[in-house]
């Protein structure tokens, strides 16, 4: 059983109630005053290409601008680093959670309150710890993470109050309570998975006076302030993204059936575990390490160009470069590159990332391979993990799952606050679509 700091919950409720009332009024206006306004036309290619480019899911916490990158409640990564409370150069994860949830930059006092709240909630039920520690050693870590999250639903406050016939307008309150539980507990689940599957099985205890990143790092087994600072950067950078990706959309759809946050996010994690999601970042690291083995610690630009061109000539892609939406280098990549230059200036692999950044976009332009040939966040994230000694490839997606829990949970709170309905798009057969197209 966890403890709650009543002041934290009361303050969040007070802030959110006013903001929810304003947003509900806007949603009501959109529905009844502008309901017949056409946002865009749907093309056949959008349907057969996985609904890409169709703006159909409302989201509250984050936007993705093609010319500026991710915006966390309107703030760029640099602005978040400048304005949010921090220990060193990277904002506390708790301050990012507060920002995404409320839209407000928290005070140091509010950040400390949330820090203590999450630290007190981080302990797992005994049955969850026992289940994780009894997992088969080689059971995939993403399966373990999904099952661990799902098991937390046994004590869901949302389920309990829903079954007591609470008002629909109040659903967001127990959803917030459950979400804070999940966000607080998922690092502990992830740490047990790492220590049990890849180390000696002993998981370090958390410290109630430490922040989210330091506790996570210590539970993983690191005693390194620089590594904790990296975790702040990594989790803040990856905590949310546009709402249509597999993990966010799946969590949203399952949540629209009024499932609790544990069921919803466990489903999202199962989507994240698919190879398209899961292997993309691993492929970036593998490609870079193979390049490193080929060209060494101090390669010439010409050697990298030759390797990249040989890769493209053989019909392969260069992972980590190109983005469906962004027309610029991903600001998350730039933030990680800056971090590596400051914290790991002599690391040959990190330096190779920086050198590739100056070279590969021009090579891709020459080959005409991608429209926007700039690095995305995956081009650097796992390199930093590798450089800090975390070198279990199958575990990298677990860390991403810890980070993305923040955005998915916060969006589920707002889904219930704005009383969004069950998501249920209509289907159409291929024959029906062919008939419509032939009659045009």
DSSP H stretches of helix in 103-171:
108-121, 126-133, 141-151, 157-162
Dihedral pair phi/psi, residue 105, rounded to 5° = -75, 120
Does an H or E element contain 69, and which?
A: strand 69-72
Q: Residue 6: what pLDDT?
A: 58
Contact by Cβ (8 Å): 302, 284: no
Buried-state track 117-144, b at ≥16 Cβ within 10 A, e below 16: bbbbbbbbeeebbebbeebeeeebbbeb
Q: Confidence class of residue 5 from pLDDT cuts 50, 70 and 90?
A: low
Q: Mean per-residue pLDDT for 20-36?
A: 94
Give CA–CA dist 147/133, Å, rounded: 12
Dihedral pair phi/psi, residue 258, rounded to 5° = 65, 30
Look at the chain and report how many structural domains it folds into. 2
pLDDT digits 0-9 by tens, 402-420: 999 999 999 999 999 999 9
Give CA–CA dist 148/130, Å, rounded: 10
Give CA–CA dist 219/204, Å, rounded: 5
Which of 32-46, 145-159, 293-307 is least confident? Answer: 32-46
- Residue 62, in any domain of the structure: no
Whether residue 332 sits in one domain with residue 316: yes
- Residue 423, in any domain of the structure: no
The answer to whether the Cα torsion of 217, 218, 220, 221 is positive or negative is: positive
Whether residue 265 sits in one domain with residue 124: yes
- Residue 302, in any domain of the structure: yes
Distance of alpha carbon 65 from its chain centroid, rounded?
17
Q: Confidence class of residue 4 from pLDDT cuts 50, 70 and 90?
A: low
Cβ-defined contacts of 338-346 (< 8 Å, 24+): 339/90, 339/229, 339/230, 339/233, 339/384, 340/380, 340/383, 340/384, 340/387, 342/89, 343/226, 343/229, 343/230, 344/384, 344/387
Whether residue 132 sits in one domain with residue 219: yes
Q: Residue 3: what pLDDT?
A: 46
- Residue 139, in any domain of the structure: yes
Whether residue 234 sits in one domain with residue 301: no
- Residue 427, in any domain of the structure: no
Whether residue 359 sits in one domain with residue 410: no
Give CA–CA dist 321/370, Å, rounded: 8
Contact by Cβ (8 Å): 193, 397: no
DSSP H stretches of helix in 274-395:
275-295, 301-313, 331-343, 348-367, 381-387
pLDDT digits 0-9 by tens, 236-254: 999 998 767 899 999 999 9
Beta partners for 423? none
pLDDT at 1 over 70: no
Residue 122's nearest CA partner among 65, 177, 188 is 188
Vertex 364, ends 377 and 49: CA angle to 5°?
65
How many other β-carbons are positioned within 10 Å of the β-carbon of residue 157?
16
How many other β-carbons are positioned within 10 Å of the β-carbon of residue 150?
18
Dihedral pair phi/psi, residue 84, rounded to 5° = -80, 145
- Residue 393, in any domain of the structure: no
- Residue 6, in any domain of the structure: no
Whether residue 243 sits in one domain with residue 142: yes
Whether residue 235 sits in one domain with residue 128: yes
CATH for 200: 1.10.580.10
Question: Helix and strand tally (H, E) in the chain?
Answer: 20, 2
Whether residue 233 sits in one domain with residue 217: yes
Q: Residue 279: what pLDDT?
A: 82
Which of 120-124, 190-194, 274-278 is least confident? Answer: 274-278
> How does DSSP assign 173-233, residue by residue?
HHHHHHHHHHHHHHHHHHHHHHHHHHS-S--PPP-TTS-HHHHHHHHHT---HHHHHHHHH
CATH for 284: 1.10.230.10
How many other β-carbons are positioned within 10 Å of the β-carbon of residue 45?
9
Collapse the DSSP code of 240 into the 3-class scheme (helix H, G, I; strand E, B; otherwise coil) and give the result.
coil
Whether residue 262 sits in one domain with residue 186: yes
Whether residue 265 sits in one domain with residue 412: yes
Provide the residue range defining the domain that includes 319. 277-388
How many other β-carbons are positioned within 10 Å of the β-carbon of residue 219?
22
pLDDT digits 0-9 by tens, 198-243: 998 888 888 888 999 999 999 999 999 999 999 999 999 999 987 6
pLDDT at 163 over 70: yes
pLDDT at 427 over 80: yes
Whether residue 384 sits in one domain with residue 294: yes
pLDDT digits 0-9 by tens, 363-403: 999 998 788 899 999 999 999 999 999 999 999 999 999 99
Tell me the percentage of the chain whose pLDDT exceeds 90.
78
- Residue 179, in any domain of the structure: yes
| Mean pLDDT score across all residues of the chain | 93
Length of the chain: 440
pLDDT digits 0-9 by tens, 283-319: 999 999 999 999 999 999 999 999 999 999 999 999 9
Q: Residue 2: what pLDDT?
A: 46
Whether residue 318 sits in one domain with residue 193: no
Beta partners for 375? 321
């Amino acid at each position: 059983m966890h403890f709650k700091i009543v002041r934290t919950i009361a303050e969040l409720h007070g802030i959110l109630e006013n903001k929810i009332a304003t947003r509900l009024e806007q949603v009501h206006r959109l529905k009844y005053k502008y309901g017949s306004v056409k946002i865009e036309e749907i093309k056949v290619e959008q349907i057969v290409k996985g609904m890409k480019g169709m703006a159909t899911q409302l989201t509250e916490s984050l936007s993705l601008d093609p010319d500026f990158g991710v915006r966390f409640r309107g703030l760029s990564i640099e602005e978040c680093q400048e304005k949010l409370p921090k220990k060193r150069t990277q904002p506390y994860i708790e301050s990012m959670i507060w920002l995404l949830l409320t839209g407000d930059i928290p005070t140091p006092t509010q950040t400390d309150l949330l820090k203590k709240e999450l630290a007190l909630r981080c302990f797992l039920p005994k049955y969850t710890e026992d289940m994780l520690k009894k997992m088969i050693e080689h059971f995939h870590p993403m399966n373990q993470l999904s099952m661990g999250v799902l098991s937390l639903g046994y004590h869901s406050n949302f389920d309990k109050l829903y079954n007591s016939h609470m008002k629909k307008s109040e659903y967001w309150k127990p959803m917030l309570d459950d979400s804070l539980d999940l966000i607080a507990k998922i690092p502990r689940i992830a740490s047990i998975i790492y220590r049990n599957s890849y180390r000696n099985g002993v998981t370090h205890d958390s410290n109630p006076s430490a922040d989210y990143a330091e506790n996570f790092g210590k539970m993983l087994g690191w005693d390194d302030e620089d590594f904790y600072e990296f975790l702040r950067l990594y989790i803040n950078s990856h905590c949310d993204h546009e709402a249509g990706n597999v993990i966010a959309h799946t969590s949203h759809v399952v949540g629209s059936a009024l499932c609790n946050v544990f069921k919803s996010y466990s489903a999202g994690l199962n989507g994240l575990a698919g190879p398209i999601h899961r292997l993309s970042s691993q492929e970036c690291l593998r490609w870079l390490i193979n390049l490193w083995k080929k060209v060494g610690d101090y390669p010439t630009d010409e050697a990298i160009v030759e390797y990249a061109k040989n890769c493209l000539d053989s019909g392969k892609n260069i992972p980590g470069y190109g983005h469906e939406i962004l027309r610029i280098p991903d600001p998350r990549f730039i933030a990680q590159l800056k971090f590596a230059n400051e914290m790991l200036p002599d690391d040959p692999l990190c330096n190779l990332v920086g050198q590739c950044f100056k070279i590969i976009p021009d090579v891709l332009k020459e080959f005409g391979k991608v429209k926007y040939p700039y690095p995305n966040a995956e081009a650097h994230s796992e390199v930093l993990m590798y450089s800090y000694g975390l070198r279990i490839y199958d575990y990298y997606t677990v860390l991403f799952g810890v980070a993305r829990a923040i955005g998915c949970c916060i969006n589920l709170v707002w889904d219930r606050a704005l009383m969004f309905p069950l998501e249920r798009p209509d289907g159409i057969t291929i024959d029906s679509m062919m008939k419509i197209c032939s009659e045009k």
